[in-house]
Amino acid sequence: MRCLYCRKQIGAIRRVVDREFCSSEHRRRFHTSSARALRDAGELLSDYDDYLAVVEQPRKAAAAKSGTKFSIATAAVIGLVLGLSLWIVPSGPVPMPTGQLQYSLRSNAFSQRIRSFIPETTKINLKHDFRMGFGEWLGTIRQNEVGGALRTSGLRLWKPTLRLTDYQLEFQASIERKALGWAFRAGDLQNYYGTKLSLGGGPDGSRSEIERFVVLGGREASRVRLPIPVSIRPETLYRVRMRVKGDQFVTSLDGQVIDTWRDRRLRTGGVGFFAERGEQASVRWVSLSEPDGLLSRIFAGLLLPPVPGMPMGGKVPAAVGFITMSPIVD
């Protein structure tokens, strides 16, 4: 056996009383040096378990602190998502008194507070069922408007929309005689873009056309007439959608794009309906919505289910005068 201090062989007599050290002096020196090494490391410990506890304690404390920070960050993200959800998700249809239009603002106090911290403007979503009356329309209204529909004649504009810029127009209508006409980017009765859908000629209803033009200062210019890939028949309900953004205008009929064009002469203005000589159409309802902001688009796509639209044909739903919020379909 060798001494743990000097590494020399331990004598036979010494091994009887001590098998680790060759002398009592070497035993004392060995423990003294070990204690000094531990003291130089920063702490004189009674045993190895205490040493491990002191070494591991800072590591465990650091890990606990990191976990706390992560938990706080996670809670903050979840709170932000819930707050934005309350702000975006509508509480349901907003009833409207006859003859009045309202914006789709939520009345929840918490959501209003959350909304105040988000740098996006309120988006407008308007819908008008003509059984509500014609108080919000500019222009001459015929006295025989019956059956909850607007019959087109001279130009009539929807007053709450006249100061808007970019939006999506949607309406349901049928052609009674010759053509259906509507206006957009209309600042007044003398300045607007006009579009018409004309009935197809021939026995099979083919050769249906779309016309578009601009009126500036009461004078018409740039009228264009083009065929469309859809046959339009009289007394048939069609759903028309038009997207107005910047200088680009896209028109679709029952979900099929039939025309797209550009023009920069009019930058702002609302929507309306008109009929030229010998023409007449019946409009059941009309809606208009502004494009949503970035956050609204993200959360609408992630959190909101698709909102069913008005039916393509048949009867108009019994509910009159309501506003819905739905993401704009590009």
Tens digit of pLDDT for each residue in 140-198? 655 445 567 888 888 999 999 999 999 999 999 999 999 999 999 999 999 999 999 99
110's tokens: 């918490």
**3-state SS, one letter per residue, for 50-103:** HHHHHHHHHHHHHHHHHHHHHHHHHHHHHHHHHHHHHHHCCCCCCCCCCCCCCC
CB atoms within 10 A of CB 51: 14
Q: Is pLDDT at 321 greater than 90 in this prediction?
A: no
Q: Average the pLDDT over 90-95 and give the result.
A: 49
Instruction: Express as a percent the part of the chain with pLDDT over 70.
Output: 60
Q: Looking at residue 142, what is its pLDDT?
A: 59
Q: Average the pLDDT over 222-229 and give the result.
A: 93
Q: Looking at residue 109, what is its pLDDT?
A: 60
Give the C-alpha separation, 163 to 185, whole Å.
9
Q: Looking at residue 300, what is its pLDDT?
A: 44
Least confident of 8-22, 213-227, 230-244, 303-317: 303-317
Q: Average the pLDDT over 99-120 and give the result.
A: 49
**CA distances to 91, 220, 225, 275 from 198, in Å:** 40, 19, 10, 11
Closest to 160 (Cα-Cα) out of 186, 141, 180: 186
Q: Is pLDDT at 298 greater than 70 in this prediction?
A: no
Give the C-alpha separation, 181 to 261, whole Å.
17
Question: At 253, which helix (H) or strand (E)?
Answer: strand 248-253
Q: Is pLDDT at 52 greater than 90 in this prediction?
A: no
Give the C-alpha separation, 228 to 223, whole Å.
16
Give the C-alpha separation, 308 to 319, whole Å.
14
Q: Which domains, from first to last, does the chain contain? A: 1-44 (no CATH), 124-303 (2.60.120.560)
Q: Looking at residue 138, what is its pLDDT?
A: 86
DSSP 257-314: EEEEEE--S----EEEEE--TT-EEEEEEEEEEPPP-HHHHHHHHHHPPPPP---SSS
pTM of the model: 0.54
Q: At 29, is the pLDDT very low, low, confident or very high (cuts 50, 70, 90)?
A: confident
Closest to 89 (Cα-Cα) out of 117, 115, 120: 115
Q: Is pLDDT at 224 greater than 60 in this prediction?
A: yes
Show Cβ contacts of residue 120 under 8 Å, excluding neighbours closer than 6 positions.
Answer: 293, 294, 295, 296
Q: Looking at residue 272, what is its pLDDT?
A: 95
Q: Looking at residue 79, what is its pLDDT?
A: 84
Closest to 330 (Cα-Cα) out of 227, 272, 267, 257: 257
Q: How far apart are the first and last CA of the chain?
A: 89
Tens digit of pLDDT for each residue in 244-297? 999 999 999 999 999 999 999 999 999 999 999 999 999 999 999 987 555 545
